[in-house]
């Protein structure tokens, strides 16, 4: 025979189960609503395509004439591959609105492929007066090869590292990038331009094979010399003049801009638009932050996570 406490425990367990079922049901409704709403959002200006191949190209970038906020943000779509036309057609891999970055492919820097005689100094891309900088926080400076010293500079040394190799093939083949055939470090600054010095060090075990250096995405550590390109992250900024072309900014993150800091102690003001918590879409376009309006305070934490999962930000 059940006593009163057992009956109460069974009732409470039944109530908890029903509550969990309701939460799952409500979550599924939110996912369905978010996906259907996000699918209806436009990421490009009216009359412009928002994808090239499998890459989403959101405004302020744009494919073709009059589709971007200015000429720097113009994208060419050739053979289903997007290119940033202002920089000798650098291939675009991804554009993120949330952290204002664009990932592009650039050429690998290698000592054995250096075309400047026997020089070890290899100049890189100069972003000049453009609204882009090489991101110090999203990229790593990496060197690969046996017995190489690599220095990243912009006229003055910014950072560097060196590699060694041993006769122990098991050690040389270990994962990671801690000096044995591979070294990695970070830049404390964002950069407008940079150059690389890659020098062979006989005392450190240089074996005559090619050495490679690049300032790019750390996930590219698996590079083994069989490709001529690697991915690098650029940050992009919008000027006050640009915001004149974007009068319908959904929600300014802050009236006070954040700043990007360069090695010469100068800085660049950075402002952006945002859809805010529990909304998805392109905040740089009019009425394009519609996706998550069904979210309530009950599910706000869930919606915040879902926002990052669904949208290509």
- CA-nearest of 125, 135, 88 to 236 is 135
Domain interval for residue 117: 102-234
In a domain? residue 83: no
Which residues lie closer than 8 Å to 293 by C-beta, 6 or more apart?
37, 278, 279
d(CA 272, CA 282): 11
Instruction: Give residue 219's pLDDT band: very low, low, confident or very high (50, 70, 90).
Output: low
Burial of residue 247 (number of CB atoms within 10 Å: 0-12, 13-18, 19+): exposed
Longest dimension (CA), the chain: 94
Q: Pick the range with the lowest mean pLDDT from 82-91, 174-183, 190-199, 231-240.
A: 174-183
The rounded radius of gyration (Å) of the Cα atoms in the chain is 25
In a domain? residue 25: no
Q: What is the pLDDT of residue 137?
A: 93
In a domain? residue 200: yes
Mean pLDDT value across residues 86-91: 84
Instruction: Give residue 42's pLDDT band: very low, low, confident or very high (50, 70, 90).
Output: confident
Instruction: Give residue 256's pLDDT band: very low, low, confident or very high (50, 70, 90).
Output: confident
In a domain? residue 120: yes
In a domain? residue 44: no
pLDDT mean across residues, the chain: 76
Strand 132-134 relative to strand 229-236: parallel, antiparallel, unpaired? Answer: antiparallel
| CATH number of 152's domain | 2.60.120
In a domain? residue 7: no
Q: Pick the range with the lowest mean pLDDT from 86-100, 102-116, 291-305.
A: 291-305
d(CA 130, CA 267): 14
The phi-psi region of residue 96 (left if phi > 0; otherwise alpha if psi is between -120 and 50; otherwise beta) is beta
Number of domains in the chain: 1
In a domain? residue 22: no
Residue 108 vs residue 133, higher pLDDT: 133
Which residues lie closer than 8 Å to 29 by C-beta, 6 or more apart?
294
Query: Does the structure show a pLDDT above 70 at 284?
Result: yes
End-to-end CA distance of the chain: 59
pLDDT in tens, 117-130: 444 666 677 898 99
Residue keyed to tokens 């720097």: 72
Query: Does the structure show a pLDDT above 50 at 94?
Result: yes
In a domain? residue 159: yes
């Amino acid at each position: 025979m059940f006593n009163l406490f057992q009956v109460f425990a069974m009732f409470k367990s039944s109530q908890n189960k029903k509550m969990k079922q309701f939460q799952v049901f409500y979550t599924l409704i939110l996912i369905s609503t978010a996906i259907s709403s996000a699918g209806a959002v436009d990421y490009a200006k009216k009359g412009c395509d928002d994808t090239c191949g499998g890459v989403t190209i959101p405004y302020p970038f744009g494919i073709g004439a009059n589709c971007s906020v200015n000429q720097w943000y113009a994208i060419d779509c050739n053979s289903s591959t997007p290119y940033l036309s202002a920089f000798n057609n650098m291939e675009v891999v991804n554009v993120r609105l949330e952290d204002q970055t664009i990932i592009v492919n650039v050429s690998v820097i290698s000592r054995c492929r250096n075309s400047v005689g026997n020089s070890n100094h290899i100049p890189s891309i100069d972003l000049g007066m453009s609204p882009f900088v090489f991101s110090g926080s999203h990229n790593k400076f990496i060197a690969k090869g046996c017995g190489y010293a690599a220095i990243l500079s912009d006229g003055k040394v910014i950072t560097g590292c060196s590699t060694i190799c041993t006769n122990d093939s098991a050690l040389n083949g270990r994962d990671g990038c801690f000096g044995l055939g591979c070294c990695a470090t970070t830049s404390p600054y964002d950069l407008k331009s940079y150059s690389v010095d890659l020098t062979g060090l006989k005392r450190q075990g240089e074996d005559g094979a090619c050495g490679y250096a690049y300032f790019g995405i750390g996930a590219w550590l698996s590079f083994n010399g069989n490709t001529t390109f690697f991915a690098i992250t650029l940050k992009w900024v919008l000027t006050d003049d640009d915001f004149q072309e974007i009068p319908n900014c959904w929600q300014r993150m802050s009236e006070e801009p954040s700043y990007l800091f360069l090695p010469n102690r100068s800085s660049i003001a950075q402002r952006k638009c945002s859809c805010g918590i529990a909304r998805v879409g392109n905040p740089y376009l009019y009425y394009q932050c519609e996706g998550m309006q069904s979210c309530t305070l009950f599910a706000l934490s869930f919606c915040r996570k879902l926002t990052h999962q669904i949208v290509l930000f």
